[in-house]
Amino acid sequence: MRLGRFHEAEDPVAYGFEWHAYYAPRLTHRLMEAGYLVRLSHQPLLLEEDRALKAGAVVVSIPRGGADAQKETLERLLREEALPLGIDVHAIKTGYTMGVNLGSPQIDVLQKPEVALLVGPGVNSIEAGEIWHLFDQRMHMPITLLSTERLGSTDLSRYTVIALPNGSYDAVWGEREAEKLKAWTAKGNTLIARAQALTWIDKMGWRRFPFGSWSSKISKAARRALIRITKKIAGRG
């Protein structure tokens, strides 16, 4: 892995880095964990010296009125955490950046997520293990393992994100669990569902996913493409 670069500026007001870096979630979580104000830009940020950060860039502000020691602490954290992970960090010396400025409503404040991963009966253990490994080992983000058998008795308000790996949820859950998750997402929380978890949601009538129609369209398009290729190979197209 290549080392990241630290682009300095005199008297910066913030630092930014792009989200496309593989370990950007790890650095973002580390900054939020340390108590810094971390935001995400929905538009490009045009910096000085022909530098730019693409839409989706993460911006961490230097505490207002902070002493030099606080600025040095943030810079040291970024150098120690970002550069070994191959993340380029850009110092931003003014809030009046071109494109959008740092006070724009196009830049949202990020909240540290509290994540639960469903495990146990009905869940594909291999896929659940891969998700846990990604969060815990690679991104250094804590993730709670929540058994499918305990969903009904668990206070979900402590979580902002719940992940449902592939699994046979209709074998362990019913209307009660569906309504509980539906009420939880209605409060603005995020549910991530994979593969057969989507089938269960569709079956419960909570959300409809046109699996059959999409499959049919894809199959028909594939057949037409195969016919065109076959004709071309045969010299008939």
- In CATH, what number is assigned to the domain containing residue 197? 3.40.50.880
Residues 124 and 72 in one domain: no
123 within some domain: yes
229 within some domain: no
Residues 99 and 138 in one domain: no
Residues 201 and 124 in one domain: yes
For residue 35, CA distances in Å to 6, 62, 116, 142 come to 21, 11, 22, 16
Residues 79 and 129 in one domain: no
Q: pLDDT truncated to tens, each residue of the chain (237 aa)?
A: 788 889 887 788 889 999 999 999 999 999 999 999 999 998 888 777 677 888 889 999 888 765 577 788 899 999 999 999 999 999 887 655 666 666 677 788 999 999 999 999 999 999 999 999 999 999 999 999 999 999 989 999 999 999 999 999 988 988 888 899 999 999 999 999 988 888 888 888 776 666 554 444 545 555 555 455 444 444 444
| 78, 109, 140 - which closes a domain | 109
> What is the predicted pLDDT for the residue at 124?
94
Rounded to the nearest 10°, the torsion over CA 31, 36, 37, 42 is -20
Residues 123 and 58 in one domain: no
232 within some domain: no
Residues 105 and 124 in one domain: no
> What is the predicted pLDDT for the residue at 224?
58
Tokens found for residue 8 = 């300095």
Q: For residues 142 and 113, what is the distance between their CA atoms, to the nearest angstrom?
A: 9
> What is the predicted pLDDT for the residue at 118?
96
96 within some domain: yes
Strand 38-41 relative to strand 190-193: parallel, antiparallel, unpaired?
unpaired
137 within some domain: yes
Residues with Cβ within 8 Å of 38's Cβ and at least 6 positions away in sequence, in order, are 28, 31, 32, 58, 59, 60, 109, 110
Cα dihedral sign, 59-88-44-113: negative
Residues 103 and 10 in one domain: yes
CATH number, residue 75? 3.30.70
- The total number of structural domains in the chain stands at 2
The SS3 assignment for 144 reads strand
Residues 31 and 104 in one domain: yes
- Going by C-alpha positions, the residue among 219, 157, 228 that lies closest to residue 188 is 157
**Burial per residue of 8-43, b for 16 or more beta-carbon CB atoms within 10 angstroms, e otherwise:** ebeebbbbbbbeebebbbbbbbbbbeeebebbbbee
> What is the predicted pLDDT for the residue at 225?
55
> What is the predicted pLDDT for the residue at 236?
43
Residues 63 and 127 in one domain: no
| 109, 139, 162 - which closes a domain | 109
Residues 61 and 135 in one domain: no
Residues 26 and 42 in one domain: yes
Q: Please state whether the predicted TM-score (pTM) of the whole model is above 0.85.
A: no
Question: Torsions phi, psi of 222, nearest 5?
Answer: -65, -40
> What is the predicted pLDDT for the residue at 22?
92
Structural domain of residue 58, as residue ranges? 6-109
- DSSP string covering 111-138, please? ----EEEEESTTB-HHHHHHHHIIIIII
CA 197 to chain centre: 19
Tokens found for residue 211 = 């699996």
Instruction: Tell me if 18 sits within 8 A of 100, measured CB to CB.
Output: no
